[in-house]
Structure formats: C-alpha cells, structure tokens
Chain A
Amino acid sequence: MTKLSMTVNGKPVSGNVEGRTLLVDFLRQDLHLTGTHVGCDTSQCGACTVHVNGVAVKSCTMLAAEADGADVATIEGQANADGSLNVIQQAFQDHHGLQCGFCTPGMVMATADLLKNNPTPNEADVRHHLDGNICRCTGYHNIVKAVLAASGQDVDAVAAE
C-alpha cells in the first residue's frame, strides 16, 4: 500500500492505496466523489475527465500515486461558491446539453480546459476538442451550443434549433 496526499477541490485529502489503484478509483471509492464516472476501459470515453494541476486528464489513465501532491479538481468542485451553477454548467442546462448525465461531468471538465486555452472557439474547435469525450445521448448538437454559449458567443448565429 502507498500512502498519498493531495488537494481535491481545494481541500487536503490523504489515503492508502494499492500501487495499481487508478486516480478515478481513488476519487470514487476512497473519497466518495462519484461524480467522476467510468465509461470505458481503454481511455476513450472521457467520462472520467478531471483537472490535475490545472490540466484536463482522463483519471482512468493515471495512477492515484502519480497524483500524490497534486492539485486535483473534479465536477463536485465546479459550482460557484454559493452553490449555483458556474457559467459552463449553466450553459449546459440552458441549451439542453445533457440527457442521461453520465458523460456530463467529463464534458464540463473538458469544456473548462478548452475555454481556458481558447476563450472563443468556433464550432470546429469545439468538436475537435471534445473528440475524446463520447456522448451517446445528445448527438452533440446541444453540447456544441452549450460550449459556445459558455464562451459568451452568440449561439443563435450558429444554430437555430
């Protein structure tokens, strides 16, 4: 067992894990932060996306031990301080960018990463950036709209429905 500690959503946490424990399993099982989901076993779906030291990472591709000492952000820490939805979350609700909600945490975390690096992406940028996040429900149309809206752009100019 390896002892580790890190900051998750601004709070210090620590734990004892097997060497093979993935970061996603540490978050879900040890910390009970179950908003980060597991949708595959080949690092293809992005449902497990979190931020490690400010960079979007698929938490199924990283060992928990590798995140020792890191600053980790998950979906549970994304809302505003007063509990209201942040700009990205609100845009997803406003534009019906989620249905079953399973891919959604990963989509929100991936979007935050995109907008940090590219504050005004166009439609093609959004689609390209989200290629590592699979959604089976929405057909992506409303996710694309939500991301563009979260960036403050005029969504209606892009798509009517």
Chain B
Amino acid sequence: MPKDSGIGASPKRREDIRFLTGLGQYTDDISLTGETHAVFARSQVATGIIKSIDTSAAENMPGVLAVFTGDDFVDVGGNPAGWLINSRDGEPMKEPKRPVLAHGKVRHVGDAYAAVIAETAEQARDAAEAIEADIDEQPAVVDMKSALAGGALVHDEIGTNQCFDWGWIEDNRAATDAAIKSAPHVTTLELVNNRLVPNAMEPRASTGVFDPGTGDYTLYTTSQNPHLTRLLICAFVLGIPENKLRVVAPDVGGGFGSKIYHYGEEALVLSAAKKLGRPVRWTASRSESFLTDAHGRDHVTKIEIACEKDGTFLAFRTETMANVGAYLSNFSTATPTFLHGTLMAGNYTVPTLYVNVKAVFTNTAPVDAYRGAGRPEATYSLERAIDKCAQELGMDPLALRRKNFIKPDQFPYAAAAGLEYDTGNYHALVDKLEELADLSGFEARRAATKATGKLRGIGVNTYIEACGIAPSNLVGVLGSRVGLYDAATVRVNATGNISVMVGAHSHGQGHETAFPQVVADMLGIDEGSIDIVHGDTSKIPFGMGTYGSRSLAVCGSAVVRATEKIINKAKKIAAHMMEASEQDVEFSEGQFSIAGTDKSVGFGDVALKAYIPHNFPIEDIEPGLEETAFYDPANFTYPAGAYACEVEVDPDTGKVTIDRFTAVDDFGNVINPMIVTGQVHGGLAQGIGQALLENCTYDENGQILSASFMDYAMPRASDLPLYTVDHSCQTPCTHNPLGVKGCGEAGAIGSPPAVVNAVINALHSGGHTDVTHIDMPVSPARVWAAMNS
C-alpha cells in the first residue's frame, strides 16, 4: 500500500484549491489604493544612438504623472552579472554596465529608453506612444561569428564583442589535443542549440510602493528568489538599505529561470513610487516578454569524440560560441561555463576532455539560464555526438554508452570535467529503460509503421546533471559573487501548529504540500497542521530561492536541520516536564517518553509549555519554540537518467510525431512521487518543444521574428504524447540529510537528444543514411529538406 502521508506519499496539493477556484494572488491581481500605471517606451531598432528624447507631448497628455528617461538613472548602479569568469589568458570578463533605462544607445529591440507613469494603463500607453525619440539606427550585430570577426560593437567602450574566452580544464588541454590527434577514431559534429524563450504563462509584473512616513519600500514582483532580487536592487542598483526594502513574490505563474533575474522594470517602479508617493504598477504584455525576458540556450558547438575502434572513449573536446545578448543578465556568465563545461564528461569514464566557450555580445535580448541552464547544452552535444559515433563504428548506441559508463562500484567518481559524482547507477537506469520502453518490441513496431508508409525511429540517451545549486565554497572558487545556501525557520506555535518559513519559492513546484511532508514525518504530527510561508522577505529568512533544481536538496535540508533543532529543544522542555534527564528522553511519533517508564508527554504539550513557561527553567532554557537553520551543501547533487523516444516521420511532409517517450530518472529519494512525476512531464514538454517546435530567431537587422505565440511555436496539447515516467532506480545523495537530488530540470535536459536521435534513426531506416544531423527544431521543413537534398 502506498503511504498516504509523510515522506514518499502523494497527498493532493493543498495550493491547488486556490488556483482552481480563481483565488490565487499573482502580482497583477494585487491592486492598491492610489495606484498608478507604468508603460515603457522600447526600442524598435536593434541598436542606435539616442540623439534626443522629447517627452514634452507625453507629459501633457491626460492622466500622465511623470516620464522617466535614461538621464534619470545615470547616477544609479548597473544590474550586475553574478559570476566573474576569467578568460584562458587570465583576463577578467568584460562587464559593460546594464542601466535601468538605456542611456546614449539602445542595444536590442525592446530595450527600454523611457517610461511613463499615468493614472491608468491606457493613458500611460497612449503617452508612451507620444514620446518622440530621435534614435539613429546603427548596423546591428546579430550573428555570433560575425560579432567575433570585428566590425560593429554592441558596447563601444569595451572594444570587443567577446565577453570572455574560457577554457575548462586548461591543464587538460594538451593531453586532450594529443589524445584526439592520435586516436584510432574521431567523431566530429557541429550543432546549434537553438535559442528559446522561456514563456512562463504569467508575464513578468512588478508593483513598487513607497511609504513616505517610514521611508520603507515594498516591491511586489514575479520572482523565483525575492531575497536575491532585494540584494541586487539594494547593493548594486538603487542603493536602498536592505532593511528598507521588502520584496514580495506572491503566487508566481511559472518561472523556468526567466524570473530568477532582476530586471530594470523593478528598479523603475520603485524609483517612480518614491517620486510620486503612490504605488506604481507594471505588467508586461506577452510581446514585451518575448522582447525582454532573458532567453535561453543559443549555443553553436563543435564537438569531437576520440575513441578506440571498440568504442572506448579517449577524449572529448568542444568549442562553443554562447550568445549572451546585449547585456549580461545575472547568471548569464555561469550558464555556458560552470553549468555546462563541468558536465561535459556525461555519465562516462572518458579520461580527459577540454571545453572552450567564447561568450559573445549581440544586439539581441539577454540570454541566461532557462530550465536546465547549460546542462541541456552539454547533454545535447555529447549525446548527439555519441549517437553519431555509434553509427560510424557500427555499434548499437546503447552498447556504446554502456561500455563507457562509470560503473556502480566506481562511485564516488571524479569525472574528467572536474566534478565528483557521489552516487549513481547508470547501468540500472538503462536496464529499466529497456524494460519500460519495450526496446525489444521496437522492430515489430517499426514494421507496423512501415506498412502505413511512414518511418519509425528510436532514439536513446542518458544524461547527468549537477543540481542542488550549490556549495558556496566551491562556487566561490569558480567565480560566483554570492553564496548559494538556503534557509528555513520552523516556528512551533503555542497551540502546536507550525509555520515553516523557507527561502525557496514555489511557483508550480508544490512546496506548500511537499515540505510539510518532511516536517510531519520528523515530528510525528499531522502535516495538515504545518504551513509553509514563502516569497516575502519580511517573513522568511535570507534564502537564495528556487532554480537549479535546488529547493528540496538545499532548502529542504535547511528545513530538516531547523526541525532537528526544534526536536532537541523540545526534548529539553519535555525532560523538565517529566522531571527526567534530557539524555533519557526519547522522541517518536510525536511523543516524548522516558525509556523503561510510563512517563510521556505529547509534542503539543511541550509546545504549549514553551510559550506558557510557568514553572519553567528559564535559566537553562529560553521560552518559545522556534529555530532557524542555514544549509550549505557539501557538493552538487547528481541526478541522472536514461530516456527513449520513438517517432514516426511522414516522408511526404517531413512531419515528426512522437509516439512514445520513456523517461527513467534517478533523483535519489523521492518525497512526493506525484509532484516529481509532474515535474518530469513539464521538463519533457519543454525539451520536446525545443527539439521539434521552438525557435527564437532574429533577422540580420536584429528584428525578432518570433515575438508572439503566433510565430513562436509553443508546445500544445496535440503536439505531445502521454509519457512513461519512472523514478524507482534510486541512489540517494550521500551528503544531504534527505538523500534527494532534485528533479525540476531533468526532463528538459534529457529529452532533446532522444528526439533528434530518433529522427535520424528513422531517416536511416528509410535509406537516408547520408543524413547525419538535423539542427533543432527538427521541423517538417528541415526534415523534408534533409531527406530530399
């Protein structure tokens, strides 16, 4: 029987009730007395010199209260990059200033150069259109290769479009080059990891409030990490004392990375609120989201795999150009480097590898971490190249992978890309995949498909990711400018119910349901009496928020540590109540007892005593029952998986249909299997979307061509299959108290290569053996062209 509560159970999500009845409170649902509305004037050209901005007509329009331009923010700080990356020659990366509003020059379509505040959103919109900006359009830099080749500059003051030229691991470079030079076989593949738009369904929104009486600011905003946003605004941009800014991220309608970052609109609404003494609201239209949310991926990579004739891997080498767009977003420099290069060994015992990444400024929207962040790019390059390698060697693709897997008894394993994987069992994952995906039945299914005139293909791959981001000591060495711990406060109230204040933020992940399962198990009490509080810096301890599949592994571990402290203190109180020594107190199933006696007190009695401390040993024990813990992980966690995709290709149209998709993942221990399965489903849809449908493109003038849901192919219900998902192969993480690894990004990391491998396999079965690769998205046009070239 499955459990119905506690760790390992799948209670229904409690947050669903408010979402299903229309009572969720998203940022744009909050309206405040006296509120005003902000609308931004945004560049229509990819780049140009701002010669003048005439706001006089706009200022005289009905309802207009104020107009801001870049001139108003020249004295405030720039929005910084969170990681310092050094180039191979030791030079620090180039960090041009990212202002609140563009000043002097606009650098991508959508770059905001002015903002209007008015009584109504319509009035603000009308006035924004009346702003007369004289912007002298300049030649745009769009393509990464030409950006590096010289010519026009995105930022004149840095004299180059190259942000950095990073090598990993530099000491392995010579050995890798030598191994590739002398290898009996080398597979080479050039591929594009297509640019994506995260498109959380809730557009970004921010409301700034200033209280002239106290000097306190409040920002309601669509954030995955309210404390990080506060830190960036206070310490870098506006210089507001941290204790004067409260950041609230209420219900947030999805993030996928795009709501990690601080954006200029947040600083604008706060500054405007102070100037006007009234709340200032802004909500992005979907078009603005396309133009200004941080995009994802956008790598061009050449990968080489050197191996023996029997398939034993000898070395991997990659060269990547990574687009960072027009400005450095907060994690943009970490994503193509330490979240990408460090994973390039995959699940394999390759002895050496070398990764080179050049980050490139272009006149496009900033690019940053999007679900998976660097790890999908690493997985895609490697797992596509391994499939090509298997074809060249005439080997079964799974057999080639198995041959090179790190073996279960080799863990902990120091992989060639510099990380030490604590646990894993990749052979077990593939065994499970063979069973669940019925790989032995594939040929029969292929024959049946052939009878319909279509081509069936199968693609498999594995992946490794580094989650639970991140050990502060390690990332500090690697260039992170922040620590990446998390925090939790467990407050037991006098009547025994509990509030748990957490640094993680839930925007779909179900923390309000899953975190109480952990605390309830530890305390032996009903999880219904435990509530999670998140998203408000005035209520929660300083945590780093939710991204990188870190909430449970890092913040959940802080919850465990804080709950342990509660138990320790409660034992002291119980000992006093039972007139026993603390060492003799045992705690189980919500009861404190003394072994060998019939003395016992319940958790609720102890809680009451803590707050009504009559006859209380106040010299030895403080009243109250509330504890905080900060948790900093010792290592990353290493989820891994094996995926199989079966497609049907219509040779007449090139259309690819996914018939079956099987995902077998090792997430370590699982707290709520229902939620974990849902996370995998969502990741798969985004990975399949990348592989088949989604593509953010700019023309040579820097005009974005895919800036609406009419032009950008979001996966819809009819594009996707039912998935088979399994997470029964568990090798628990050895260094966090829950043994969990994280599940949020897996689906998006593991699925793109499986889809493309399957399409290539299908084409080969139809005699198109000369087709070795098709870039994503594997659209009907591209497939048809490959088959008919």
Stretch from B599-607, B675-683, B752-760 that touches the partner: B675-683
Contact of B717 among A40, A102, A143 (CB under 8 A): A143
Q: How far is the CA of A16 from the CA of B789 in the complex (A)?
A: 62
Task: State whether A89 and B20 are in contact (beta carbons under 8 Å apart), knowing that A37-B202, A131-B716, A136-B254 are contacts in the complex.
Answer: yes
Contact A99 B21 (CB under 8 A): no
Q: In the complex, what residues of A have CB within 8 A of residue B722's CB?
A: 123, 141, 144, 158-159
Contact B709 A99 (CB under 8 A): no
Contact B22 A36 (CB under 8 A): yes
Q: Binary interface profile of A, 136-147, with partner B (CB < 8 Å = 1, else 0)? A: 111111111000
Main secondary structure of the interface of A (DSSP, over half): loop
Q: In the complex, what residues of B have CB within 8 A of residue A35's CB?
A: 21-24
Q: In the complex, what residues of A have CB within 8 A of residue B674's CB?
A: 96
Taking CB as reference atom, which chain B residue is nearest A145?
B722
B581 interface contact, C-beta 8 A: no
A11 interface contact, C-beta 8 A: no
Q: How far is the CA of A143 from the CA of B722 in the complex (A)?
A: 11
Q: How far is the CA of A127 from the CA of B199 in the complex (A)?
A: 20
Q: Binary interface profile of A, 42-84, with partner B (CB < 8 Å = 1, else 0)? A: 1011010000000000000000000000000011101100000
Which of A126, A140, A160 has the most chain B CB atoms inside 10 A of its CB? A140
Return A114 CB to nearest CB of chain B, in Å: 11
Return A140 CB to nearest CB of chain B, in Å: 4
Task: State whether A96 and B201 are in contact (beta carbons under 8 Å apart), knowing that A41-B287, A75-B21 are contacts in the complex.
Answer: no
Task: State whether A39 and B203 are in contact (beta carbons under 8 Å apart), knowing that A76-B22, A142-B678 are contacts in the complex.
Answer: yes
Which of A39, A79, A137, A161 has the most chain B CB atoms inside 10 A of its CB? A137
A149 interface contact, C-beta 8 A: no
Taking CB as reference atom, which chain B residue is nearest A40?
B286
A93 interface contact, C-beta 8 A: yes
Task: State whether A100 and B507 are in contact (beta carbons under 8 Å apart), knowing that A34-B22, A41-B285, A89-B21 are contacts in the complex.
Answer: yes
Task: State whether A104 and B122 are in contact (beta carbons under 8 Å apart), knowing that A32-B31, A42-B286, A160-B724 are contacts in the complex.
Answer: no
Contacts of A75-129 to chain B: CB distance below 8 A? 75-76, 78-79, 85, 89, 92-94, 96, 98-105, 108, 123-124, 126-128
A8 interface contact, C-beta 8 A: no
Contact A102 B20 (CB under 8 A): no
Q: In the complex, what residues of A have CB within 8 A of residue B252's CB?
A: 100
A4 interface contact, C-beta 8 A: no
Task: State whether A144 and B717 are in contact (beta carbons under 8 Å apart), knowing that A92-B16, A137-B254 are contacts in the complex.
Answer: yes
Contact A45 B26 (CB under 8 A): no
Return B46 CB to nearest CB of chain A, in Å: 22
Contact of A126 among B15, B23, B678, B717 (CB under 8 A): B717
Contact of A136 among B19, B201, B510, B710 (CB under 8 A): B201
Q: In the complex, what residues of B have CB within 8 A of residue A127's CB?
A: 717-718, 720
Return B508 CB to nearest CB of chain A, in Å: 3
Return A129 CB to nearest CB of chain B, in Å: 8
Contact B21 A100 (CB under 8 A): no
Taking CB as reference atom, which chain A residue is nearest B678?
A96
Q: Binary interface profile of B, 95-126, with partner A (CB < 8 Å = 1, else 0)? A: 00000000000000000000000000010000
A130 interface contact, C-beta 8 A: yes
Which of A37, A45, A76 has the most chain B CB atoms inside 10 A of its CB? A37
Contact of A37 among B26, B682, B718 (CB under 8 A): B26
Contact A139 B253 (CB under 8 A): no
Contact B678 A75 (CB under 8 A): no
| Range, interface on chain B | 35 or more
B29 interface contact, C-beta 8 A: yes
Contact B15 A101 (CB under 8 A): yes
Contact B724 A99 (CB under 8 A): no
A6 interface contact, C-beta 8 A: no
Taking CB as reference atom, which chain B residue is nearest A124?
B718
Q: In the complex, what residues of B have CB within 8 A of residue A18's CB?
A: 122
Contact of A99 among B122, B199, B287, B678 (CB under 8 A): B678
Which of B122, B256, B722 has the most chain A CB atoms inside 10 A of its CB? B722
Q: How far is the CA of A137 from the CA of B675 in the complex (A)?
A: 12
Q: In the complex, what residues of B have CB within 8 A of residue A126's CB?
A: 717
Q: In the complex, what residues of B have CB within 8 A of residue A92's CB?
A: 16, 20
Contact B718 A131 (CB under 8 A): yes
Contact B709 A134 (CB under 8 A): yes
Contact B710 A42 (CB under 8 A): yes
B200 interface contact, C-beta 8 A: yes
Contact B22 A100 (CB under 8 A): no
Taking CB as reference atom, which chain A residue is nearest B29?
A34
Q: In the complex, what residues of B have CB within 8 A of residue A108's CB?
A: 20
A3 interface contact, C-beta 8 A: no
B784 interface contact, C-beta 8 A: no
Contact A45 B709 (CB under 8 A): yes
Contact A93 B202 (CB under 8 A): no
Q: In the complex, what residues of A have CB within 8 A of residue B684's CB?
A: 139
B13 interface contact, C-beta 8 A: yes
B12 interface contact, C-beta 8 A: yes
Q: How far is the CA of A31 from the CA of B287 in the complex (A)?
A: 26
Q: In the complex, what residues of A have CB within 8 A of residue B508's CB?
A: 99-101, 137
Contact B21 A102 (CB under 8 A): no
Task: State whether A139 and B201 are in contact (beta carbons under 8 Å apart), knowing that A34-B22, A98-B19, A123-B722 are contacts in the complex.
Answer: no
Contact of A161 among B12, B256, B710, B725 (CB under 8 A): B725
Q: In the complex, what residues of A have CB within 8 A of residue B448's CB?
A: none
Q: How far is the CA of A76 from the CA of B20 in the complex (A)?
A: 9
Q: In the complex, what residues of A have CB within 8 A of residue B31's CB?
A: 29, 32
Contact B22 A42 (CB under 8 A): no
Task: State whether A134 and B21 are in contact (beta carbons under 8 Å apart), knowing that A92-B16, A140-B685, A140-B717 are contacts in the complex.
Answer: no
Q: In the complex, what residues of B have CB within 8 A of residue A139's CB?
A: 681-686, 715, 720, 723, 747
Taking CB as reference atom, which chain B residue is nearest A128?
B718
Taking CB as reference atom, which chain B residue is nearest A92?
B20
Task: State whether A102 and B26 are in contact (beta carbons under 8 Å apart), knowing that A44-B708, A136-B254 are contacts in the complex.
Answer: yes
Q: In the complex, what residues of B have CB within 8 A of residue A45's CB?
A: 201, 286, 709
B49 interface contact, C-beta 8 A: no
Closest 5 CB pairs of A and B: A35-B22, A101-B19, A102-B253, A139-B685, A99-B508
> Which positions in B face A, CB cutoff 8 Å?
12-13, 15-26, 28-29, 31, 122, 199-203, 251-254, 256, 283, 285-287, 507-510, 674-675, 677-678, 681-686, 708-710, 714-718, 720, 722-726, 747
Known: A33-B22, A144-B722. 4 other contacts (CB 8 A): A38-B203, A101-B18, A136-B685, A139-B686
User: 11 A-B pairs, CB-CB below 8 angstroms?
Assistant: A28-B29, A35-B21, A37-B26, A38-B28, A41-B286, A41-B287, A42-B286, A44-B709, A96-B674, A102-B200, A135-B717
